């Protein structure tokens, strides 16, 4: 059996997705996700123009060799575009291998280590009252862990806060705006640091001490500000504080870690184990945030998590709607198989998206499960996909009140 065709499908059912579709000489189809929010066409071109021609004729079972061939053979290593493209190939090959074996991918990764993957949902509100309603909505939907994001008095739109929902309304927040250029938002760290502890005080008094609560600072703080926030949130016993400070400077986390016991999660913008090396070996973080889509695929993320296990660092894979259902499925197969699982982010995709990507995974009683279909368990409806043309969409840009560009 060989790879007979490699097709890149860019579709946009409500938001843009990049999917690699491999077909073997025996007609087995494998899918992989290469969606890079705001830079989708770069990943699509890397795959279509530079990788797809090299795949035709290769043995689809040679997953490790293909990964090394694409990583070392590119010469220019790492980076979000390269690693999303390699991830898509890797996922598609695992999908094929599972389908040929007649087994769900998690069985090829060592079988189940747990009944299902604990998921967390995204609650938000422009006010504390709206946030409380959103948390109730997520509990009603079956979530047993909740990410809490709030508006900040005096600021307009801020990261992670969708439109306020009434009781029973579903959360919907796609940050990438379909505009010719990124929307600009205003940020004020001091106002945010003053406001957040009170938000968690209100949430804890409404929902009690046991509900696992998470918060995403989205790369916006200096190490010292991150330490200040981590310490101010200790009374509220967070499951994790995410992206408290830009993690590229891994040593910066030494300062944060020395000042607070609030658990730390970092890495959704990382794409290689090298981005984590100091963070993991010095135990500066508690959770690895990469998605399978952005960090080189199942092969690479499994190795990353085996490395993290030595230092008792657990998984918390990135799972927003800009990871496609194929990327989410790939994460779920790892989630149920690896020993050092932590939690799985889960922003349910829209009905429009699920008309294009037919998924075999499920969310029941707070747990996600990849299902028992052979391979990854997701099918791509090409006809439905063709109905949704790519539309440029950009993530917002943040500026401080004086106009200085800041991390969004
Ligand atoms: C966020 C992401 O889910 C998260 O933790 O940081 O939603 C992030 O904003 C988006 O993936 C950007 O496309
Ligand atoms: Mg995040």
Closest ligand 1 atom, CA of 159? 9
Mean pLDDT value across residues 160-169: 86
Identify whether 159 is a catalytic site residue.
yes
Per-residue pLDDT of 320-359, as tens digits, reads 999 999 999 999 999 999 999 999 999 999 999 999 999 9
Ligand 1 binding pocket mutation candidate from 15, 43, 160 (most atoms within 8 A of CB): 160
Mean pLDDT value across residues 383-389: 98
Residue 380 has pLDDT above 80, yes or no: yes
Per-residue confidence (pLDDT) for residue 179, from 0 to 100: 87
The topology (CATH level 3) of 3-104 is Enolase-like; domain 1 (3.30.390)
Residue 60 has pLDDT above 90, yes or no: yes
Residue 173 has pLDDT above 80, yes or no: no
Mean pLDDT value across residues 247-275: 97
> Model's pTM, two decimal places?
0.98
Same fold, 3-104 and 108-373: no
Per-residue confidence (pLDDT) for residue 170, from 0 to 100: 75
Mean pLDDT value across residues 285-308: 98
The CA distance from 226 to 94, in Å, is 39
Measured by CA distance, the residue closest to atom 4 of ligand 1 is 320
Residues in the chain: 408
The percent of residues above 90 in pLDDT, for the chain, comes to 95
The CA distance from 328 to 326, in Å, is 5
Per-residue confidence (pLDDT) for residue 169, from 0 to 100: 80
Residue-range domain boundaries for the chain: 3-104, 108-373
Task: Quickly count: other Cβ atoms within 10 Å of residue 205's Cβ.
Answer: 10
Per-residue confidence (pLDDT) for residue 172, from 0 to 100: 66
Identify whether 218 is a catalytic site residue.
yes
The CA distance from 104 to 98, in Å, is 6
Ligand 1 binding pocket mutation candidate from 216, 217, 317, 393 (most atoms within 8 A of CB): 216
Mean pLDDT value across residues 221-238: 98
Mean pLDDT value across residues 100-113: 98
Lowest mean pLDDT among 4-13, 118-127, 167-176, 181-190: 167-176
The topology (CATH level 3) of 108-373 is TIM Barrel (3.20.20)
Structure tokens belonging to residue 260: 């607070």
Mean pLDDT value across residues 161-178: 82
pLDDT band at 236 (very low <50, low <70, confident <90, very high): very high
Per-residue confidence (pLDDT) for residue 43, from 0 to 100: 98
Q: Is the CB of 40 under 6 A from ligand 1?
A: no
- DSSP string computed for 76-126: S--SHHHHHHHHHHHHHHHHHHHHHHTSBHHHHTT--SSSSEEEEEEEEES
Q: How far is the CA of 120 from the centre of ligand 1 (A)?
A: 13
Measured by CA distance, the residue closest to atom 8 of ligand 1 is 320
Residue 254: its H or E element: helix 252-259
The percent of residues above 70 in pLDDT, for the chain, comes to 100
Contacting residues for 403 by C-beta, under 8 A, at least 6 apart: none
Q: How far is the CA of 283 from the centre of ligand 1 (A)?
A: 23
Q: Is the CB of 354 under 6 A from ligand 1?
A: no
Q: Rounded mean pLDDT of the chain?
A: 97
Task: Quickly count: other Cβ atoms within 10 Å of residue 309's Cβ.
Answer: 15
């Amino acid at each position: 059996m060989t790879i007979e065709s490699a097709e890149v499908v860019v579709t946009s059912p409500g938001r843009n997705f990049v999917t690699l579709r491999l077909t073997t000489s025996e007609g087995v189809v494998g899918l992989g996700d290469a969606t890079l929010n705001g830079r989708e066409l770069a990943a699509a071109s890397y795959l279509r123009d530079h990788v797809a021609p090299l795949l035709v004729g290769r043995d689809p079972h040679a997953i490790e060799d293909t990964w090394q061939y694409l990583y070392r053979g590119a010469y220019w290593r790492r980076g979000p575009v390269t690693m999303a493209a390699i991830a898509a190939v890797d996922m598609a090959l695992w999908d094929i291998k599972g389908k040929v074996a007649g087994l769900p991918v998690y069985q090829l990764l060592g079988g189940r280590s747990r009944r299902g993957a604990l998921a967390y949902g995204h609650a938000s509100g422009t006010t504390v009252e709206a946030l409380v309603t959103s948390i109730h909505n997520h509990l009603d939907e079956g979530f047993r862990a909740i990410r809490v994001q709030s508006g900040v008095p005096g600021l307009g739109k801020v990261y992670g806060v969708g439109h306020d929902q009434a009781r029973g309304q579903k959360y919907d927040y796609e940050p990438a705006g379909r505009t010719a250029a990124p929307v600009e938002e205003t940020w004020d760290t001091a106002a945010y640091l003053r406001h957040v502890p009170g938000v968690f005080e209100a949430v804890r008094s409404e929902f009690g001490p046991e509900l696992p609560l998470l918060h995403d600072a989205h790369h916006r703080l200096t190490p010292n500000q991150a330490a200040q926030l981590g310490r101010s949130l200790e009374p509220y016993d967070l499951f994790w504080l995410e992206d408290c400070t830009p993690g590229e400077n891994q040593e910066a986390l030494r300062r944060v870690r020395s000042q607070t016991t609030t658990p730390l999660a970092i890495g959704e913008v990382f794409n290689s184990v090298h981005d984590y090396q100091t963070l993991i070996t010095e135990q500066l973080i508690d959770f690895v945030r990469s998605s399978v889509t952005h960090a080189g695929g199942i092969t690479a993320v499994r190795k990353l998590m085996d490395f993290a296990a030595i230092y008792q660092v657990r998984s918390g894979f990135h799972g927003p709607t800009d990871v496609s259902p194929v990327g989410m499925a790939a994460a779920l197969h790892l989630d149920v198989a690896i020993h050092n699982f932590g939690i799985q982010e889960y922003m349910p995709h829209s009905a429009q998206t699920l008309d294009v990507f037919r998924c075999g995974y499920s969310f029941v009683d707070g747990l996600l499960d990849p299902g028992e279909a052979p391979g990854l368990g997701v099918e791509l409806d090409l006809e439905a996909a063709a109905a949704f043309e790519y539309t440029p969409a950009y993530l917002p840009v943040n500026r401080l009140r004086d106009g200085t560009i800041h991390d969004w």
